[in-house]
Amino acid sequence: MKTRFAPDRGLSSRMLITSFLLGLLYVGFVALLIALTKSAVLAVVIAGGALFVQYWFSDRIALYAMHGRIVTPEEAPELHGTIDRLCALADMPKPRVAIADVDLPNAFATGRNPKNAVVCVTTGIMRRLDQDELEGVLSHELSHVAHRDVAVMTIASFLGVLAGLITRFGLYGGLGRNRDQNTAVIVLTIIAVSIVVYAISFLLTRALSRYRELAADRAGAMLTGRPSALASALTKISGDIARIPSRDLRQAEAFNAFFFAPAISGKAGASLSSLFSTHPSLEKRLDRLGVLSRELGEQA
Protein backbone atom coordinates (compact mmCIF):
# COMPACT_ATOMS: atom_id res chain seq x y z
CA MET A 1 0.00 0.00 0.00
CA LYS A 2 1.49 3.30 -1.14
CA THR A 3 0.61 6.44 0.80
CA ARG A 4 1.82 10.01 0.86
CA PHE A 5 3.71 9.41 4.08
CA ALA A 6 7.40 9.86 3.43
CA PRO A 7 8.97 6.41 2.89
CA ASP A 8 11.82 5.44 5.18
CA ARG A 9 14.27 2.92 3.75
CA GLY A 10 16.12 2.77 7.04
CA LEU A 11 12.96 1.68 8.82
CA SER A 12 12.12 -0.87 6.10
CA SER A 13 15.58 -2.44 6.25
CA ARG A 14 15.52 -2.55 10.05
CA MET A 15 12.11 -4.21 10.05
CA LEU A 16 13.33 -6.80 7.55
CA ILE A 17 16.49 -7.58 9.52
CA THR A 18 14.62 -7.70 12.83
CA SER A 19 11.95 -9.98 11.37
CA PHE A 20 14.61 -12.31 9.92
CA LEU A 21 16.56 -12.57 13.16
CA LEU A 22 13.42 -13.05 15.22
CA GLY A 23 12.29 -15.69 12.73
CA LEU A 24 15.49 -17.64 13.36
CA LEU A 25 14.92 -17.32 17.10
CA TYR A 26 11.34 -18.47 16.65
CA VAL A 27 12.40 -21.61 14.79
CA GLY A 28 14.89 -22.36 17.53
CA PHE A 29 12.22 -21.79 20.12
CA VAL A 30 9.87 -24.28 18.50
CA ALA A 31 12.69 -26.80 18.73
CA LEU A 32 12.95 -26.03 22.43
CA LEU A 33 9.22 -26.52 22.85
CA ILE A 34 9.53 -29.90 21.17
CA ALA A 35 12.31 -30.86 23.60
CA LEU A 36 10.27 -29.61 26.56
CA THR A 37 6.94 -31.19 25.60
CA LYS A 38 8.45 -34.21 23.78
CA SER A 39 5.74 -33.70 21.16
CA ALA A 40 6.29 -31.86 17.89
CA VAL A 41 2.55 -31.54 17.31
CA LEU A 42 1.89 -30.07 20.75
CA ALA A 43 4.82 -27.67 20.39
CA VAL A 44 3.61 -26.37 17.03
CA VAL A 45 0.05 -26.03 18.34
CA ILE A 46 1.22 -24.04 21.39
CA ALA A 47 3.58 -21.74 19.49
CA GLY A 48 1.32 -21.35 16.46
CA GLY A 49 -1.78 -20.80 18.58
CA ALA A 50 -0.12 -18.12 20.68
CA LEU A 51 1.21 -16.33 17.60
CA PHE A 52 -2.20 -16.55 15.90
CA VAL A 53 -3.95 -14.99 18.89
CA GLN A 54 -1.42 -12.19 19.24
CA TYR A 55 -1.38 -11.39 15.51
CA TRP A 56 -5.11 -11.54 14.83
CA PHE A 57 -6.39 -10.15 18.11
CA SER A 58 -3.63 -7.70 19.10
CA ASP A 59 -5.92 -4.71 18.51
CA ARG A 60 -8.65 -6.09 20.77
CA ILE A 61 -6.17 -7.12 23.45
CA ALA A 62 -4.56 -3.67 23.48
CA LEU A 63 -7.90 -1.85 23.59
CA TYR A 64 -9.19 -4.08 26.39
CA ALA A 65 -6.03 -3.61 28.46
CA MET A 66 -6.14 0.18 28.03
CA HIS A 67 -9.92 0.39 28.64
CA GLY A 68 -10.40 1.71 25.12
CA ARG A 69 -13.57 1.51 23.04
CA ILE A 70 -14.33 2.09 19.39
CA VAL A 71 -16.21 5.36 18.85
CA THR A 72 -18.44 6.42 15.98
CA PRO A 73 -18.30 9.78 14.14
CA GLU A 74 -21.43 10.78 16.06
CA GLU A 75 -19.74 10.09 19.40
CA ALA A 76 -16.46 11.86 18.57
CA PRO A 77 -17.02 14.13 15.54
CA GLU A 78 -13.91 16.29 15.97
CA LEU A 79 -11.58 13.32 16.43
CA HIS A 80 -13.06 11.52 13.43
CA GLY A 81 -12.90 14.70 11.40
CA THR A 82 -9.20 15.13 12.10
CA ILE A 83 -8.42 11.53 11.19
CA ASP A 84 -10.58 11.82 8.05
CA ARG A 85 -8.54 14.83 6.88
CA LEU A 86 -5.21 13.17 7.63
CA CYS A 87 -6.18 9.93 5.88
CA ALA A 88 -7.34 11.88 2.83
CA LEU A 89 -4.09 13.83 2.85
CA ALA A 90 -2.06 10.63 3.19
CA ASP A 91 -4.22 8.71 0.68
CA MET A 92 -4.65 5.76 3.05
CA PRO A 93 -7.60 3.73 4.40
CA LYS A 94 -9.17 5.13 7.53
CA PRO A 95 -8.50 2.99 10.60
CA ARG A 96 -11.03 2.42 13.32
CA VAL A 97 -11.03 5.16 15.94
CA ALA A 98 -11.00 4.50 19.67
CA ILE A 99 -10.89 6.46 22.91
CA ALA A 100 -9.47 5.22 26.22
CA ASP A 101 -11.00 6.90 29.25
CA VAL A 102 -7.77 7.38 31.22
CA ASP A 103 -5.96 10.51 32.37
CA LEU A 104 -2.58 9.35 31.03
CA PRO A 105 -1.95 11.63 28.02
CA ASN A 106 -1.05 9.26 25.21
CA ALA A 107 -2.00 7.62 21.93
CA PHE A 108 -1.18 4.40 20.13
CA ALA A 109 -1.88 2.49 16.93
CA THR A 110 -2.35 -1.25 16.69
CA GLY A 111 -3.56 -3.85 14.22
CA ARG A 112 -2.14 -6.44 11.84
CA ASN A 113 -2.43 -4.29 8.68
CA PRO A 114 -3.72 -0.89 7.50
CA LYS A 115 -7.19 -2.30 6.76
CA ASN A 116 -7.54 -3.70 10.29
CA ALA A 117 -5.81 -0.95 12.24
CA VAL A 118 -7.03 1.03 15.24
CA VAL A 119 -5.82 4.45 16.37
CA CYS A 120 -6.61 5.10 20.00
CA VAL A 121 -6.24 8.32 21.98
CA THR A 122 -6.80 8.83 25.68
CA THR A 123 -9.16 11.37 27.16
CA GLY A 124 -6.10 12.74 28.94
CA ILE A 125 -4.35 13.69 25.71
CA MET A 126 -7.51 15.17 24.21
CA ARG A 127 -7.90 17.49 27.20
CA ARG A 128 -4.31 18.69 27.11
CA LEU A 129 -3.54 19.31 23.43
CA ASP A 130 -4.86 21.91 21.04
CA GLN A 131 -6.07 20.97 17.57
CA ASP A 132 -2.71 21.38 15.79
CA GLU A 133 -0.86 19.39 18.45
CA LEU A 134 -3.41 16.56 18.40
CA GLU A 135 -3.23 16.49 14.61
CA GLY A 136 0.54 16.08 14.85
CA VAL A 137 0.17 13.15 17.24
CA LEU A 138 -2.48 11.47 15.07
CA SER A 139 -0.32 11.91 11.98
CA HIS A 140 2.53 10.25 13.86
CA GLU A 141 0.31 7.29 14.75
CA LEU A 142 -1.10 6.97 11.23
CA SER A 143 2.44 6.81 9.86
CA HIS A 144 3.03 3.71 12.04
CA VAL A 145 0.04 2.12 10.33
CA ALA A 146 1.16 3.17 6.84
CA HIS A 147 4.72 1.94 7.40
CA ARG A 148 3.36 -1.36 8.80
CA ASP A 149 5.78 -1.27 11.70
CA VAL A 150 2.85 -1.84 14.08
CA ALA A 151 2.43 -5.39 12.77
CA VAL A 152 6.17 -6.07 12.96
CA MET A 153 6.32 -4.86 16.57
CA THR A 154 3.31 -7.01 17.46
CA ILE A 155 4.98 -10.15 16.13
CA ALA A 156 8.37 -9.15 17.56
CA SER A 157 6.98 -8.71 21.05
CA PHE A 158 5.33 -12.13 20.87
CA LEU A 159 8.61 -14.05 21.00
CA GLY A 160 9.71 -12.30 24.18
CA VAL A 161 6.38 -13.10 25.82
CA LEU A 162 6.63 -16.75 24.79
CA ALA A 163 10.20 -17.00 26.07
CA GLY A 164 9.12 -15.59 29.42
CA LEU A 165 6.25 -18.07 29.67
CA ILE A 166 8.51 -21.03 28.91
CA THR A 167 11.02 -19.84 31.50
CA ARG A 168 8.26 -19.70 34.12
CA PHE A 169 6.90 -23.07 33.07
CA GLY A 170 10.35 -24.64 33.38
CA LEU A 171 11.02 -23.06 36.77
CA TYR A 172 7.68 -23.69 38.42
CA GLY A 173 6.52 -26.74 36.49
CA GLY A 174 8.96 -29.17 34.98
CA LEU A 175 11.92 -28.51 37.32
CA GLY A 176 9.90 -28.96 40.47
CA ARG A 177 8.31 -32.27 39.41
CA ASN A 178 11.32 -33.96 37.88
CA ARG A 179 13.85 -35.50 40.22
CA ASP A 180 15.76 -37.35 37.51
CA GLN A 181 19.15 -35.64 37.14
CA ASN A 182 19.27 -35.89 33.34
CA THR A 183 15.79 -34.41 33.00
CA ALA A 184 16.71 -31.60 35.37
CA VAL A 185 19.76 -30.77 33.24
CA ILE A 186 17.58 -30.64 30.11
CA VAL A 187 15.04 -28.37 31.78
CA LEU A 188 17.78 -26.07 33.11
CA THR A 189 19.30 -25.90 29.62
CA ILE A 190 15.94 -24.96 28.13
CA ILE A 191 15.45 -22.28 30.78
CA ALA A 192 18.92 -20.87 30.12
CA VAL A 193 18.35 -20.75 26.37
CA SER A 194 14.90 -19.21 26.93
CA ILE A 195 16.49 -16.43 28.96
CA VAL A 196 19.02 -15.80 26.19
CA VAL A 197 16.27 -15.76 23.57
CA TYR A 198 14.25 -13.35 25.69
CA ALA A 199 17.28 -11.04 26.08
CA ILE A 200 18.01 -11.03 22.34
CA SER A 201 14.36 -10.45 21.50
CA PHE A 202 14.20 -7.65 24.07
CA LEU A 203 17.20 -5.83 22.60
CA LEU A 204 16.06 -6.27 18.99
CA THR A 205 12.57 -4.93 19.65
CA ARG A 206 13.92 -2.00 21.69
CA ALA A 207 16.31 -0.99 18.90
CA LEU A 208 13.54 -1.19 16.30
CA SER A 209 11.10 0.64 18.56
CA ARG A 210 13.44 3.62 19.04
CA TYR A 211 14.09 3.97 15.32
CA ARG A 212 10.44 3.63 14.33
CA GLU A 213 9.48 6.47 16.68
CA LEU A 214 11.96 8.81 14.98
CA ALA A 215 10.68 7.65 11.58
CA ALA A 216 7.07 8.31 12.61
CA ASP A 217 7.97 11.75 13.99
CA ARG A 218 9.54 12.71 10.67
CA ALA A 219 6.88 11.18 8.42
CA GLY A 220 4.01 12.61 10.48
CA ALA A 221 5.52 16.08 10.65
CA MET A 222 6.27 16.09 6.93
CA LEU A 223 2.68 15.14 6.13
CA THR A 224 1.20 18.01 8.15
CA GLY A 225 4.05 20.41 7.38
CA ARG A 226 4.14 21.50 11.04
CA PRO A 227 7.00 19.86 12.96
CA SER A 228 6.66 22.54 15.65
CA ALA A 229 3.14 21.34 16.51
CA LEU A 230 4.41 17.80 17.07
CA ALA A 231 7.33 19.12 19.11
CA SER A 232 4.91 21.14 21.25
CA ALA A 233 2.76 18.03 21.80
CA LEU A 234 5.82 16.01 22.82
CA THR A 235 6.89 18.66 25.31
CA LYS A 236 3.44 18.93 26.87
CA ILE A 237 2.86 15.21 27.12
CA SER A 238 6.30 14.43 28.54
CA GLY A 239 5.87 17.10 31.19
CA ASP A 240 2.39 15.98 32.16
CA ILE A 241 3.29 12.28 32.28
CA ALA A 242 5.79 13.11 35.02
CA ARG A 243 2.85 14.28 37.15
CA ILE A 244 0.77 11.13 36.68
CA PRO A 245 0.72 8.85 39.80
CA SER A 246 3.40 6.15 39.68
CA ARG A 247 0.79 3.42 40.18
CA ASP A 248 -0.98 4.42 36.97
CA LEU A 249 2.30 4.64 35.06
CA ARG A 250 3.35 1.15 36.16
CA GLN A 251 0.05 -0.26 34.89
CA ALA A 252 0.64 1.34 31.47
CA GLU A 253 4.36 0.53 31.11
CA ALA A 254 3.67 -2.77 29.36
CA PHE A 255 2.45 -0.76 26.34
CA ASN A 256 5.41 1.62 26.18
CA ALA A 257 6.63 0.26 22.84
CA PHE A 258 3.31 1.20 21.25
CA PHE A 259 2.71 4.56 22.95
CA PHE A 260 3.39 7.95 21.38
CA ALA A 261 5.42 8.84 24.48
CA PRO A 262 6.64 6.33 27.08
CA ALA A 263 4.92 5.96 30.42
CA ILE A 264 7.88 5.99 32.78
CA SER A 265 7.30 5.39 36.47
CA GLY A 266 9.76 6.66 38.98
CA LYS A 267 12.13 9.60 38.70
CA ALA A 268 13.28 10.89 35.37
CA GLY A 269 16.64 9.53 34.35
CA ALA A 270 16.24 6.43 36.49
CA SER A 271 16.70 4.17 33.46
CA LEU A 272 20.00 2.30 33.56
CA SER A 273 20.68 2.84 29.89
CA SER A 274 19.07 4.16 26.74
CA LEU A 275 19.78 0.68 25.37
CA PHE A 276 16.70 -0.57 27.21
CA SER A 277 14.43 2.33 26.26
CA THR A 278 11.47 1.91 23.92
CA HIS A 279 11.75 5.53 22.73
CA PRO A 280 14.54 7.96 21.86
CA SER A 281 15.12 10.67 24.44
CA LEU A 282 12.83 13.70 24.36
CA GLU A 283 15.84 15.88 23.54
CA LYS A 284 16.75 13.77 20.50
CA ARG A 285 13.18 13.81 19.18
CA LEU A 286 12.91 17.58 19.63
CA ASP A 287 16.29 18.14 17.97
CA ARG A 288 15.26 16.06 14.95
CA LEU A 289 11.98 17.96 14.66
CA GLY A 290 13.84 21.25 14.94
CA VAL A 291 16.11 20.27 12.06
CA LEU A 292 13.09 19.21 10.00
CA SER A 293 11.33 22.48 10.76
CA ARG A 294 14.29 24.41 9.37
CA GLU A 295 14.43 22.14 6.31
CA LEU A 296 10.76 22.82 5.59
CA GLY A 297 11.18 26.53 6.28
CA GLU A 298 8.38 26.43 8.82
CA GLN A 299 7.37 29.79 10.21
CA ALA A 300 7.62 30.16 13.98
Binding-site positions for Zn(2+) read 140, 144, 213
Annotated binding site: 140, 144, 213
Give Cβ neighbours of residue 134 (< 8 Å, ≥ 6 apart). 82, 121, 125, 126, 233
| Euclidean distance between CA atoms 119 and 70, whole angstroms | 9
| Euclidean distance between CA atoms 3 and 54, whole angstroms | 26
| Euclidean distance between CA atoms 104 and 30, whole angstroms | 38
What is the biggest distance separating any 2 CA atoms in the chain, rounded to whole angstroms?
Answer: 73
Radius of gyration of the chain (CA): 21
Asked whether 290 and 234 are in contact (CB, 8 A), the reply is: no
141 is catalytic: yes
| Euclidean distance between CA atoms 96 and 84, whole angstroms | 11
Catalytic residue among 74, 78, 141, 283: 141
Q: Which residues are catalytic?
A: 141
